[in-house]
């Protein structure tokens, strides 16, 4: 089974929508808040070539989706 990681923020409604979709599909995933977790923020930027929009969905270490249905939130990350 693929390892899914969801990088987002607590304040971004699109992160919540993607989380709900993953839960509806009964996917196992790990979620990271990139505003609260510096290590997660750095990992997201590394995986997504400096991406500053969330949510970002990563599968087996590769970005498979940025944003949710064409929408995303901009985050101010280092």
Q: Residue 2 has what pLDDT?
A: 60
Q: What is the Rg, in whole angstroms, of the alpha carbon atoms belonging to the chain? A: 11
Q: Residue 27 has what pLDDT?
A: 94
pLDDT digits (tens, 9 = 90+) for 18-47: 999 999 999 999 999 999 999 999 999 999
Task: Please check the confidence at residue 55 and state whether its pLDDT lies above 80.
Answer: yes
Q: What is the 3-state secondary structure (H, E, C) of 36-48?
A: CCHHHHHHHHHHC
Q: What is the pTM (predicted TM-score) of this model?
A: 0.91
Task: Please check the confidence at residue 77 and state whether its pLDDT lies above 80.
Answer: no
The CATH class for the domain spanning 1-16+29-62 reads: alpha beta
Break the chain into its structural domains and give their ranges.
1-16+29-62
């Amino acid at each position: 089974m693929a390892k899914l990681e969801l990088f987002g923020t607590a304040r971004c409604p699109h992160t919540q929508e993607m989380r709900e979709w993953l839960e509806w599909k009964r996917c196992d995933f790990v979620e990271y808040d990139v505003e609260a977790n510096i290590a997660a923020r750095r990992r997201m930027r590394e995986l997504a070539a400096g991406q500053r929009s969330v949510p970002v969905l990563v599968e087996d270490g590769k970005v498979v989706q940025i944003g949710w249905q064409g929408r995303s939130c901009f985050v101010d990350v280092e």
